[in-house]
Chains A and B, each alone.
Chain A
Amino acid sequence: MLQESVLIEKNEEVGPGLYYLRLKTQDMAEQAHPGQFIHISLGTIYDPLLRRPMSILNAQEDSLSVLYQVVGRGTKIMTRFRPGDFIDVLGPLGRGFDLEDSKKHLLIGGGVGAAPLVFLAHQLKRKGGEIKFFLGMREEELIFIKELLPPGVEFYSSHENSPRGEAKQVTDLLPPHLEQENKTSLYCCGPEGMYREIAKICAECGEFSVQVSIDRRMGCGVGTCLGCAVKIKKPPREELQIVRACVEGPVFRWQEVGFNDS
């Protein structure tokens, strides 16, 4: 974990209320792993008080990027970050995705939450295996994500508000790709309802490795405040444990967290 004052290289609107922020930081970029996050100081000392946790969209050489949606005061303040400014960043934090030794990797993202799967696609590419990227969006607002993927990744998208007869939910796209004979791994990032739906479809098709990234309100981001508690049950003992999304997560195995009520 590092705490650094980092240079803002880019902060631009890439969709309605959707921003791409790129930071220059070689050390954090080198340490970063897909599924991890950084904790960004807004530069306001008293109010808003807390840092903002942001999933890492990608890390390349000496830069690290995030994608954020303006949802409240904090993200509104972030839109005013200008290239050339410095911001205080803590990271990389948390436990990311395990890169599985599979012949086939299915990356499934719902909305802006899909961001860390971009970084994951780049890392999996080095490892080998077939990579398919599934993105669920309302209309076409996240289509630029396709351009951020490495070459050779198959891209599929669903459109909730599509007037045409296409898939409306990202989970509608999955069944033909879930073949049991190939060892297939799933990596999911989005709302928890989407994970539930994915788990249901998987259960009908066989056994798969399913990893999900869990979203919680965070305070410290490093494991001391215990604000982002997640209940897990680890096989084989299935003993209930309370862990921290910011340290033991945010990525968990679905079989560990799936028992929780929605």
Chain B
Amino acid sequence: MTPKLNTKIGSLNLENPLLTASGTYGNGREYSDLVDLKSWGGLVTKGLTLEPRSGNKGVRIVETPAGILNSIGLQNPGIEYFVREEIPFLEKQEIPVIVNIAGRRIRDYEELTRRLDPFPCISAFEVNVSCPNVREGGLAFGTNPGLVYEITSRLREVTQKPLIIKLTPNVADVGAIAIQAEKAGADAVSLINTLMGMEIDIETCRPLLGNTVGGLSGPAVKPVALRMVYQVYRQVKIPIIGMGGITKGEDAVAFLLAGARAIALGTVNFVNPKAPLEIKEFIFDYMKRHNFSSLENMVGVAHQEKEA
């Protein structure tokens, strides 16, 4: 038996469940010496805003126990540059491209979607309503179920392409947010974005990050992310893209069993650029070992009652 790794997010077919987590892989160029982009199921691009953003000042990245805190601040060159310089590159890649968009106001998201929708090389949109690092980076939307409903339904009118709402873990009830996204017509939810945290430099007696607070990622957040994926799986029918600290094949399998239909790798790319290859191989071998003929059969199995 050869296990089938392909999966589906709304109308989007992926050859395998591995996606790049937004902001950890640029737009696919940087690692091309080491990893064939086609090894991924899809590429999720760095968060894009209408205007160029220069990002946050001061220290932007700090290593923490089994993780990192970042406060990049959505640095990106803006949509005009993206269309001019990045789309021609992305068009040549034989891989689904999911563009991550962020904005200050709902109409920023609408305009981004409207302008990007016509490009055939863009397969789907991931809507960032969860960046913890900029005041207007969407987190205000992402923590408010009503606003998530509104933003999703307004974008639904602008595009037929799959809409993925990226959720923040910085809420009391992530399920309530996911339910609103589903109700408003989202094709999928992705979770989790980073957990808000901070570090203090005890020599200077001040916060270490230029932005004071930042987003925690890496292995340290995996159990939190896994719990949220498991929880949301019970509350919505739309597919879940699971992410948060996935470092090894075992982690990836756990997310699939918890209910993720696809998974994204983020921080691990910084540590081990070959992780997607190793993780894909592990999933394949695991499926063989456990007689899962397709990924579909494996998704959410952790929710089944134990056989007596």
Given the known interface contacts A1-B34, A3-B34, the answer about A49 and B60 at a Cβ–Cβ threshold of 8 Å is no
Contacts of B34 in A (CB 8 A): 1-3, 90
CA distance A152 to B204 in the complex (A): 44
Q: Which residues of B contact A46 (CB under 8 A)?
A: 66, 219, 247
Are the CB atoms of B60 and A47 closer together than 8 Å?
Answer: no
Residue of A nearest to B20 (CB): A224
Chain B residues numbered 89-133 whose CB sits less than 8 Å from any CB in chain A: none
Q: Which residues of chain B are near A229, meaning CB under 8 Å? A: 55, 60, 75
CA–CA, A4 to B26, complex, Å? 22
A222 touches B30 (CB 8 A): yes
CB–CB A3/B248 < 8 A: no
Known contacts A50-B270, A224-B30, A229-B55: A217-B247 contact under CB 8 Å: no
The answer to the question of A7 belonging to the interface, with a C-beta cut-off of 8 Å to chain B, is no
- Give the residues in chain B near A199, CB-CB below 8 Å: none
List residues of B (246-296) whose CB comes within 8 Å of A's CBs. Answer: 247-248, 267, 269-274
A171-182 CB mask vs B (1 if < 8 Å, else 0) is 000000000000
Q: Is A242 an interface residue (CB 8 A)?
A: yes
Q: Is B25 an interface residue (CB 8 A)?
A: yes
Given A49-B66, A226-B55; A41-B33 close (CB under 8 Å):
no
For A224, the chain B residues whose CB sits under 8 A away are 23-26, 30-31, 46, 269-270
Query: Which B-chain residue is minimally distant from A227 (CB atoms)?
Result: B61
Please indicate which of the listed interface residues A1, A2, A220 has the most CB atoms of chain B within 10 Å of its own CB. A220
Tell yes or no: A111 within 8 A of B by CB. no
Taking CB atoms and an 8 Å cut-off, the chain B residues in 188-223 that contact chain A are 218-219
The smallest beta-carbon distance between A257 and chain B, in angstroms, is: 15
Bitwise interface map of A from 34 to 62 toward B, beta carbon under 8 Å scored 1, else 0: 00000001000111111100000000000
Which chain A residues border B55 with CB–CB below 8 Å?
A: 226, 229, 242
The residue of chain A having its C-beta at the shortest distance from the C-beta of B268 within the complex is A49
CB of A1 within 8 A of CB of B75, answer: no
Minimum C-beta distance from B2 to chain A (A)? 29
Residue count of chain A within 8 Å CB distance of chain B = 29
Taking CB atoms, residues of chain B closer than 8 Å to A90 are 34, 273
A50 surroundings in chain B (CB, below 8 A): 63, 68, 270-271
Per-residue A-contact encoding for B33-73, CB less than 8 Å = 1, 0 else: 11000000000001000000011000111110111101010
With A41-B271, A51-B270, A224-B30 as known contacts, state yes or no: A217 contacts B248, CB within 8 Å: no
CA distance A46 to B61 in the complex (A): 17
Nearest Cβ on chain B to A262's Cβ, whole angstroms: 13
Interface of B is mostly: loop
Q: CB-CB < 8 A to B23: which residues of A?
A: 224-226
Category for how many chain B residues contact A: 20 to 34
* Contact assessment for B75 and A220 in the assembled complex, using a CB-CB cutoff below 8 Å: no
Q: What's the minimum C-beta distance from A63 to chain B, rounded to whole angstroms? A: 22
Report Cα–Cα, A49/B270, bound state, in Å.
9
Per a CB cutoff under 8 Å, which of A3, A45, A225 touches B247? Answer: A45
Given A3-B34, A217-B62: A227 in contact with B26 (beta carbons within 8 A): no
Q: Is the CB of A49 within 8 A of B273?
A: no
From A45, A48, A217, A225, contact of B72 by CB (8 A): A225
Docked complex Cα distance between A46 and B218 (Å): 8
Complex interface: chain A residues within 8 A of B54 (CB)? 240, 242
A56-99 vs B, CB cutoff 8 Å, 1 = contact: the mask equals: 00000000000000000000000000000000101000000000
Verify if A223 is at the interface (C-beta below 8 Å from B). Answer: yes
Q: Report yes or no: B218 in contact with A49, Cβ–Cβ below 8 A.
A: yes
Decide yes or no whether A219 CB sits under 8 A from chain B. yes
B-chain residues with CB within 8 Å of residue A120 when the two chains form the complex: none
B61 A225 Cβ-Cβ under 8 A: yes
Q: How far is the CB of A50 from chain B (nearest CB, A)?
A: 5
* 4 nearest CB pairs, A to B: A227-B61, A220-B270, A47-B66, A224-B26
The 14 listed contacts between A and B (C-beta, < 8 Å) are A41-B272, A49-B67, A50-B63, A217-B62, A219-B70, A219-B270, A220-B30, A220-B269, A222-B30, A224-B25, A224-B26, A224-B31, A227-B70, A247-B30
